[in-house]
Structure 1
Amino acid sequence: MRFLDVLGTLARIFTMLGAVALAVMMICTTYDVIARAAFGQPLHGVVDITEIMVLGVALLGLPEVCLRDEQIRVDILDDLVPATLLKGLKLLGVTATITFLALLLANIVRPMLDAYRFGDIKADTGFPVYLSFALIFICLLAAALTTLTGLARLVGANRSERP
């Protein structure tokens, strides 16, 4: 199995886990509202659960978005600049994205290790905070890898178009 196929499968699994996180968040919040209103018995830890699930929803879809190159973009310049300049701008954008993801990755390690070292936990559920940081790290790493494959495709396309 090729590396790109494995990466695509992992990205798809991450996206499915993000969908599960969304469902869990919706079910817990709905249950909390109904149980609080009807029985005066809210779901204990629903705020912590929602925080963790929002993190999952936001980040677990990122690798597949980067792999498919479906980020939100504004294409105002696409028709105004020459094709070679546009390719250069796309290359610059992908390089900037990889740089930004690398900076985020480098800056998430220390808080993750500190949360682990000091035993930080969520107040209501006791969920270890370092696991939230680990989720962020894994998702950003996967997004960086999928963006690198996009960069490789872009560079390969530029090489094949040269005379």
Structure 2
Amino acid sequence: MKPIFYINRVLMGLSAFWSFFLAVIITVDVVGRGLFNSPLTGSLEIIVNSIVVIAFLQLGYAVGSGSMLRADFILHLLPRRLTLFLDVTGLVIGAIIFGLLCYAVIDPTISAYRSGDYEGEGAMRVPTWPIYATIFFGSLLTTINYILLAFDRYASERPDHV
């Protein structure tokens, strides 16, 4: 197993655990509001920021396992070479998009870390740099997965491999 796939699985497991943790927070918040008229302090900030983190932790696994959404309903009607070209092109475009996202989030991550930027007011203040860092590393991992899949897809259809 390639190390990247191991990393994908570990991050997917972490995001599943985190999702369960969010379910507990939401339940405690709802019960607290309903029974005691006292919501869980900071639950909104935790939930809002966690959704972004969970999504970016899962992206690498979704791409690497072939679970990312694809519109391939017409590909079986096309010649094999054109299908290969479109598959590889789509994977390269995915790598470019997430590579650009990775690049775009570098400055906000560094700025949020240096300035101590946070989200939320009052009792719960959540630092934003870990969220930006998760977007960076999730995008980087997704980019790597797209590149590896593009090479694998191209190599699997070369004449000497058919």
TM-score normalized with structure 1 length: 0.91
Match of 2:57 among 47, 60, 82: 60
Distance 1:119 1:59, change over 3 A: same
| Residue deviations 1:4-34 (CA, integer Å, cap 9, x gap) | 5211111001101111121111111110010
Asked if 1:144 corresponds to 2:143, the answer is yes
Root-mean-square deviation (Å):
1.6
1:45, CA displacement in angstroms?
A: 0.3
1:29 matched to which residue of 2?
26
Q: How does 1:35-54 map to 2 (within 5 A)?
A: 35-54=32-51
| Matching residue's letter, 1:38 | L
2:72 paired with 1:75: yes
The alignment status of 1:96 with 2:93, answered yes or no, reads yes
Segments of 4+ in structure 1 off by > 6 A? none
Give the aligned residue type for 1:45: G
Q: Is the 8 A contact 1:122 1:128 kept in 2?
A: yes
Tell me if structure 2 keeps the 8 A contact 1:21–1:54. no
CA contact (8 A) 1:18 1:60 kept: yes
Structure 2: which 5+ runs fail to align?
none
Structure 2 CA distance for aligned equivalents of residues 22 and 162 of structure 1: 42
Partner of 1:154: 153
Contact 2:155 2:161 in 1 (8 A): no
1:74 & 1:151 partners in 2: Cα distance?
17
Q: Which amino acid aligns with 2:157?
A: N
Give per-residue Cα distances to partners, 1:19-71, cap 9 Å, x unaligned: 11211111111100101111122110001110122112211111111111221
| Cα 1:82/1:161, change in 2 over 3 Å | farther
Contact 1:21 1:57 in 2 (8 A): yes
How many angstroms does 1:104 deviate by? 0.4
Deviates more, 1:104-113 or 1:153-162: 153-162
Identity of aligned residues (%): 22
